[in-house]
Structure 1
C-alpha cells in the first residue's frame, strides 16, 4: 500500500510517490494516503508518550507487507499474521530487499486463531485492514485483535464501505445491483460480488466500542479516487496532489463517510 520514509518524529509530509510505493502507479497513493497519515501520527504520539524509540506492531492480515514494511522502515518491530504462505513469502522477500528483515516477522494464521501464533496484550498498535469483510464473525474478529493490544494501545481498522459500493454500481448503470447492495444485510450487490461483506461507519464503530475501545476518529477512504477517470489524474499537471488534498479534506467529514469505498476507524484502549 505505502512505502513512506518519514521518521517517527518528523513533521514533514511523506512523499506522495512513496505513498504509492511505485511512481509508475500514482493513483495507488490515493488509496492509502489518508490511512497512512492518520496511522503514522497515532504512532508518533505513542512513541513520544512512551519515551521509546520504536513500537511493537501487529498487522493482522497484513499480506505481503504493504503497511508492515514501511512501518519497519520507520524503526518499528512488526509482526504480520496472514493465512497465505505466498503472501508471507513475498513479505519476507520485500523486507529483505528493503533491509528491514530484522524488524519484520511473518507468521501463518488468521484472526480466529490469532493467539495460536502471537501473544495476548503484547502490542502497542494493531492493524486490521481488509480483514472483517472475510471473517465469519466480525465482532469476534475485532475482539481478538483488541485482545492483542497493550493497555495503552491503538487499533487501526479498515474495511469496505457500503455506500461506496452502492454509488459505484449506480454510476456504472447497474441500478438493480446498487439497490441490492443497499438492501442486502451484508452489503453485496449480487452473486458475482467479490466482497463478502461491507459496513457502514456506525456498524464499524459499534464493533469497536463493543470490544471495549474508545473511537478516536472515523475516516472515509477513497471517497473520490475510485470515481475520477484515471486519465485526469495521470495526465493533468498537479491533479494527483490536488485530488490527494481533496481526499484528506473530506476524510473526517461524516457526510462523505456514506459514499466512501472504505472506512477507517482509529481507536484506543480505554483508561482502566
Structure 2
C-alpha cells in the first residue's frame, strides 16, 4: 500500500510505470501542435480517472475520455476539477463500439492504453480508432507483452506456466492468468498496418520494474535509479532486444491518408 501511495504521488513524468510512455506521447503532441498550429483534439479510450487525460489537458489540449465505468468517470471529473482543467476534459460513458456516436469530429491523437487486452476483438477496436483519426493523426497504443510473462513465470519457478505463455495463441500462462491476452510486437504491427495505420515508434516499457523486489525500492534514490535505467533502455535502439522483455509494449502509429 505504501508503494502504491508513492506511485500515486509521483507525477506522470516521474512515475516508474508511466514516465517512458509519457515522454514519447508528450514529444509527439508537441510535434503535432507545431505542425497544426493549434492545440490537439485528443481521444483517450478507456482513460479511467484521467492519468493521461488530465496532464494532456494541462498542456492545453482538449481531451475526450471514453470509459465504460461510471465510477472512473466520476473520479475523472474530480481529478480534472482539482487540476483546474474541467473545461478541457470531457468524460463520456462508452467503449470502442460507440466511438462513432461519441466522437463528433476527427481527433488528432488517440490514447489506447491497457484496453486491447480486454476487448472482444482487438482488430475491430484498432479499426474503430483509425476511423475517428484525422489524416496524419496519431495512435498511442500500450499493451501487455508476452515475453514478460514468460520471464516472470520462469523466474518464479513456474516453468510449465512460462512455456504455456510462450506457446499459447493469447500469451496467457494458464486459467488463473488475470489477463485475457498479451501481444507480440509483430502481432501489434500487423494489426495496425491491416487497419491502415503505420507504426513509427515502438518501445518496450517496464523491462525491469515488475521484476524488482519491493525491498529493493526502499528509497527515492532507488526508485530514481530504476527509472533512469528504464528510460535508458527505452531511448537506445541498441537495447531494443531488451524492450521485448518489457511488461508493456508502447507503439505510436500514424494514419497516412
TM-score, structure 2 normalization: 0.91
CA contact (8 A) 1:60 1:127 kept: yes
Q: Does 1:67 align with 2:19?
A: no
Q: Counterparts of 2:118 and 2:20 in 1: how far apart (Å)?
A: 23
Match of 2:93 among 108, 114, 134: 108
Inter-partner Cα distance in structure 2 for 1:112 and 1:187:
25
Q: Which protein is richer in helix relative to its size?
A: 2
| CA deviation after TM superposition for structure 1 residue 224, in Å | 0.6
Please state if 1:34 is matched with 2:17.
no
Distance 1:172 1:112 in 2: 38
Unaligned runs of 5+ in 1: 1-18
Q: Does 1:135 align with 2:122?
A: no
Question: Quick check: 1:20–1:32 contact (8 Å CA) kept in 2?
Answer: no
The reply on whether 1:241 has 2:228 as its aligned counterpart is no
Q: Give yes or no for contact 1:153–1:269 (8 Å, CA) kept in 2.
A: yes
What is the count of residue pairs matched by the alignment? 248
Residue pair 1:221, 1:260 contacting (<8 A) in 2 also: yes
SS at match of 1:264: strand
State how far apart, in whole Å, the 1-side matches of 2:135 and 2:110 are. 12
For the residues of structure 2 that align with 1:76 and 1:246, how far apart are their CA atoms? Answer: 30
- Structure 1 counterpart of 2:134: 150
Q: Deviations over 1:8-57 (max 9, x none)?
A: xxxxxxxxxxx95504x99x8111111000000000001111111x1110
1:257 CA displacement: 2.8
1:6 equivalent in structure 2: none
Give 1:168 shift.
0.9
> How is 1:168-179 mapped onto 2 (pairs within 5 angstroms)?
168-179=152-163
Q: Which runs of 4+ in 1 moved over 4 A?
A: none
Give per-residue Cα distances to partners, 1:39-93, cap 9 Å, x unaligned: 00000001111111x1110001101111001111111110000111111111111
Contact 1:201 1:257 in 2 (8 A): no
1:141 aligned counterpart, secondary structure: helix
Residue 113 of structure 1: CA displacement? 2.3
Q: RMSD over aligned Cα, in angstroms?
A: 1.9
TM-score by length of 1: 0.86
In 2: Cα distance, 1:90 partner to 1:204 partner: 31
Mapped to 2, the partners of 1:182 and 1:139 lie a distance apart of: 21
Please give the residue correspondences for 1:184-223 in structure 2 after superposition, counting only pairs within 5 Å: 184-223=168-207
Report if aligned partners of 1:78, 1:105 keep a CA contact under 8 Å in 2.
yes
Local SS of the residue matching 2:108: strand
Q: Counterparts in 2 of 1:223-234, with a 5 A limit?
A: 223-234=207-218
Aligned-pair distance for 1:239?
2.5
Do residues 258 (structure 1) and 238 (structure 2) align?
Answer: no
Cα deviation code 1:157-181 (max 9, x no counterpart): 0000001111111111111111111
Correspondence for 1:181 among 165, 171, 188: 165
